[in-house]
Amino acid sequence: MNEQLHFADSGEAADLAAFLGRLVHYDRAAAVRLQAQAGGGALAVFGRPPSFDVLAIRTVRLAAPVGTPLDVTVSAGELLESVDETSGGALVPAAVTGPPWAGVLPPRGGWAPVAGLPGPEAIRAALAASVAEFRARDEALPPQHRTRSERDRIGREIWSRTLGDTELPLRAVHAAQSLGFLRPVRSTVPAGPTPPGAPETVALFASGGWLRLRTPYGSIATRRPGGLGALLVRPV
């Protein structure tokens, strides 16, 4: 029997649906890994948007702590279809055979802050400049060189560059924006308390061979250059 999830409120359900919708937009066959610890009040949702080479993590607050641990890989599309934003719930679909990335997740603990990350506006400016450069270089290609492999080569060159004084590749920031994790500040919205566990600004952390870009709306995890340490291989 599939397990029923009850989120803290309808907003949590809507945010999860938006995240899943973006994953499915990039890959109709996308899978997500769900984890919730017994006694914990949050559900962690891991996904891997194609071409970005990163892991996306969205945490959803639950209405009550789960009684038994949950750890399963499911279809992102089926989970999206089961999300009921009105009731704030969802039904966990049947498990699927997990893709290779689902068996190797970032560590749960040991994350330490990393200095050198620019502020949110500078991050958006760097991202915009990179997008503009890609478009300009793509348009400058002669017709005989306008191939998928050449465009991929340009993309790898641009998105492998690091941000500020950190090791974080620009592709992680690109993924964060594409998945809705980077949002402009809306001055018309009254200031309110920061959601529990959410940082006030974009921040960078490191643990073993991983980097994690964390925003109030989700996180992007990526391997550090040449680093394979602190990997957690868990049954899928």
pLDDT at 73 over 70: yes
pLDDT at 37 over 60: yes
User: pTM for this structure?
Assistant: 0.85
Separation between Cα atoms, residue 48 and residue 172, nearest integer Å: 11
pLDDT 10s digits, 141-158 = 999 888 999 999 999 999
pLDDT score recorded for residue 98: 82
Query: So what CATH class is 4-105?
Result: alpha beta
Rounded average pLDDT over 42-51 = 94
> Phi first, then psi: what are they for 51, rounded to 5°?
75, -20
pLDDT 10s digits, 165-211 = 999 999 999 999 999 998 754 433 333 344 544 444 899 999 999 99
Separation between Cα atoms, residue 211 and residue 167, nearest integer Å: 8
pLDDT at 58 over 90: yes
For the record, the structure tokens of 177 come out as: 């924006």
Closest CA relative to residue 204, chosen from 160, 164, 175, 159: 164
The amino acid occupying position 227 is G
Higher-scoring residue by pLDDT: 224, 56:
56
pLDDT 10s digits, 215-236 = 999 999 999 876 544 444 344 3
Separation between Cα atoms, residue 43 and residue 53, nearest integer Å: 23
pLDDT at 129 over 90: yes
What is 85-141 written as a DSSP string? TTTTEEEPPPB-PPPGGGGEE--SS--EE-S-PPPHHHHHHHHHHHHHHHHHHHHHS
Which residues, in sequence order, are bridge partners of residue 62?
Answer: 7
pLDDT at 48 over 50: yes
Helix, strand, coil shares, percent, the chain, to 5: 30, 25, 45
Per-domain residue ranges for the chain?
Answer: 4-105, 112-233
Neighbours of 14 (CB within 10 A): 14
For the record, the structure tokens of 135 come out as: 């478009």
pLDDT 10s digits, 95-126 = 999 899 999 999 999 999 999 999 988 999 99
pLDDT score recorded for residue 233: 38
Work out the mean pLDDT of the chain and round it to a whole number: 88
Give the pLDDT band of residue 66 (cuts 50, 70, 90): confident
Separation between Cα atoms, residue 180 and residue 9, nearest integer Å: 19
pLDDT score recorded for residue 3: 87
pLDDT score recorded for residue 227: 54
pLDDT at 53 over 50: yes
pLDDT score recorded for residue 186: 41
